[in-house]
Amino acid sequence: MSIYDTLNEQQREAVFCTQGPLLLLAGAGSGKTRVLTHRICYLMEQGVNPYHILAITFTNKAAKEMRERVDSLVEFGSEHIWVSTFHSTCVRILRRHIDLLGYDNSFTIYDGDDQKSLIREICKRFNIDTKMLPERAIINSISSAKDEFMTPAEYETTYQYDFKKKKIADIYKEYQKQLKANNALDFDDLIFKTVELFQFHPEVLEKYQERFQYIMVDEYQDTNTLQFHLISMLARKYKNLCVVGDDDQSIYKFRGANVKNILNFEGQFPDATVIKLEQNYRSTKSILDAANGVIKNNQTRKDKALWTENVDGELIEFHQYGTEYEEAANIVQKIEELSAEGEPYKNMAILYRANAQSRVFEEKFMLKNIPYRIVGGTNFYQRKEVKDMICYLKVVNNGMDDLAAKRIINVPRRGIGATSIDKIQTYAMEQEIGFMDACFQAQEIETLKTAKKKVQKFGDVILGYRNYLEDHSLEELFQYILETTGYIKDLEQQETEEATARIENINELLNKVVSYEEEAEEPNLSELLEEIALVADIDNLEESDNKVVLMTMHSAKGLEFPNVFLCGMEDGVFPSYMTITSEDSEELEEERRLCYVGITRAKERLFLSAAKRRMMQGRTQFNKVSRFIDEIPKELLKVDRGINFSDKRPDHDIFSSSRNTKFRKPFQRRQLDLPKTESLDYKEGDSVNHIKFGVGKVTSIVSGGRDYEVTVDFEKAGQKKMFASFAKLKKV
């Protein structure tokens, strides 16, 4: 029996279609990884050299899984296939050729914290108030520019008449200048510089076009414009490009993902073959029918519908509770019941729209002593003690990394304060040298005075580590740094639980160093730091941990659980208030895709819940049941007594409780107390100011029962509809 006999008809068709562009529309749970790995195997059987195959995924976890599956299918030669993430692929290329762009090949990769530190320094130098223009907003703007392959000069030209954007353009220009001076790249640069390399050095592009004659890209719906350019350039010569994705699961617009990349694939590659993988192997029929019922309401999508040979399964439960605390208590109680029936905690996941929703669940879990894990908390590599040790390794590896050097120059304390660091930085800028080079020249820095010897000693310490590495392993270097800095000793003297936990984290980092050296063919410090920099939070989800998992729906993509709880299913929470009030239909469609992703994470049981009132931003809000619940066929739902479907479908007032007067009475008095339109600060025709949208003119005020729907024509943001109690409009 052939290994391909286990595939369904569409999967086999995809595996055997090896020449020319191919679009695989792979629905949730349709076995796309299986198809890709079997396709790689088939290519090799057809005589394709594994050296010519490139498979790109979005997470290290997915890449590792694909690598393991390929290795199990192919007897030999699979080690020559590149199976990696976009960023890892680009790092491998840049390590060999970035010198052509004026960088050293031992460049450092900056994470989010590093970016923020550098932006903060630049803002301080430019006298920019980060309360008015926050670092995160600046970083997001620069990232968006890079996603669109926009240089600082192009950004400046594009936004020359926008005062705020022009400031960001100045910061962007200086930011890139400092990155280069530090011989560092941020995550966006990894792809940006690779595209730039191919653009300005066609001989390098041709080399990799010849190398990668067969290219496969997973999760294609999540690619941004820059990633599209990269793939298009690589595939231009042989056109053997297979992209796999599902436009219904495109949920990362906020990160720059462009769903048009998959929707317009046939336009970019007119001779493309399109194959739909619609058979789902993950979920019950009820869960799939619910997902189909929701997603079919999107207009901008490829026509497809998931189906399964699995059992119908249990009905989807929907419960509406009084408050978010009742919601959390009842969900935790249900988890206890499932656990008592023998269901492991790790088989249960609570998914929510925003991270802040996790708090009430954490409180309940701690009271009940139920083990849980939050995905999306502080990344292991962002913890202070771990970051400190990584920065020591960074400075040993790349002496041009000013940020890393500044972080550890006084860690542990060496008597080198912030004033001394500023003096070293000033000298470095005057001499046009790096911060570490300035430390080596401490005796020449007149302003340092008594700190000269301390700074010089720090420089000698770093030189000593570099010399030590020449004759010792990475593990030995790490142990040597711990010993000579006294970092562990200082923590031990504190004799606190926190210090003990920090020591454990350092030992865990040591474990990483040891395991890396054991697995790497030719271990080196640059590659170790690269592995650490490219790790994603979701890659740390240990499936062996028997804990309930809490995460956002965005984080849950690519995962599956037997039992899933989707909470906060209310208009104003999910979809969010900003989405509801936006006139951009794409925003609501993205939220609906997110709901589709959340539903399809469930394999056996799905529980949906909402609260009638919820504390948000310090205020109690009364929300209708989410319109997404209304879009689920009602015969699939098991609902509470007292909650009735509205006769008006698909209006979004779907669960009318007005007939149950006892149920509604607590809220009626509050509704009657709302101010009348004549007592509002503004009326139709007035100019008002909104904290986000700025100044606009009120064109309409309509009573909506418990609130007033206000339509405002904003000068910059256009026309918006919003509730008066949320909008907090101020008359100009």
Instruction: List active site positions.
Output: 32-33, 218-219, 249, 601
Q: What CA–CA distance (Å, rounded) separates 675 from 677? A: 7
What distance in Å separates the CA atoms of residue 83 and residue 469, rounded to the nearest whole number? 30
Which residues lie closer than 8 Å to 607 by C-beta, 6 or more apart? 316, 317, 319, 331, 334, 563, 564, 565, 566
DSSP string covering 602-630, please? EEEEEEEEEESEEEETTEEEE-PBPHHHH
**What is Dmax (Cα atoms) for the chain?**
84
Closest-CA residue to 171 (of 150, 145, 142): 142
Residue 321 amino acid letter: Y
What does the block give as tokens for 594?
């997110």
* CA distance readout (Å), 558 to 42, 65, 286, 600, 663: 25, 12, 20, 10, 39
- In 519-591, DSSP assigns E strands to 548-552, 561-566
In degrees and rounded to multiples of 5, residue 702 shows phi and psi of: -125, 130
CA 155/CA 140 separation, integer angstroms = 14
DSSP secondary structure of 664-715: HHHHHHHHHTSPPGGGSS--TT-EEEETTTEEEEEEEEEE-SSSEEEEEEET
Give backbone dihedrals phi and psi of 447, rounded to 5 degrees, phi first.
Answer: -70, -15
Q: How many CB atoms lie within 10 A of CB 147?
A: 19
Cα–Cα distance for residue pair 640/644, rounded to 1 Å: 9
Q: E-assigned strands of 279-419?
A: 316-321, 348-352, 372-374
Angle at Cα 230 formed by Cα 209 and Cα 523, nearest 5°? Answer: 75
Peptide bond into 633 cis (omega under 30): no
Locus of tokens 């950004």: 155
What ranges in 98-213 are assigned the alpha helix state H?
112-125, 135-147, 152-158, 163-181, 187-200, 202-211
How far from chain centre, in Å, is Cα 54? 23
In angstroms, the CA 598 to CA 350 distance is 10
* CA neighbours closer than 13 Å in the CB half-sphere of residue 359: 7
Contacts of 426 (CB under 8 A, 6+ apart): 447
Quote the Cα angle for 535-537-540, to 5°: 85
Report the 10 Å Cβ neighbour count for 659: 9
Sign, CA torsion 514/516/521/524: negative
CB 357 within 8 A of CB 568: yes
* Spatial separation of the C-alpha atoms in residues 165 and 150, rounded to whole Å: 13
Using alpha carbons, list the distances in angstroms from residue 157 to 83, 128, 160, 177: 39, 21, 5, 18
**83: β partners:** 55
DSSP 565: E
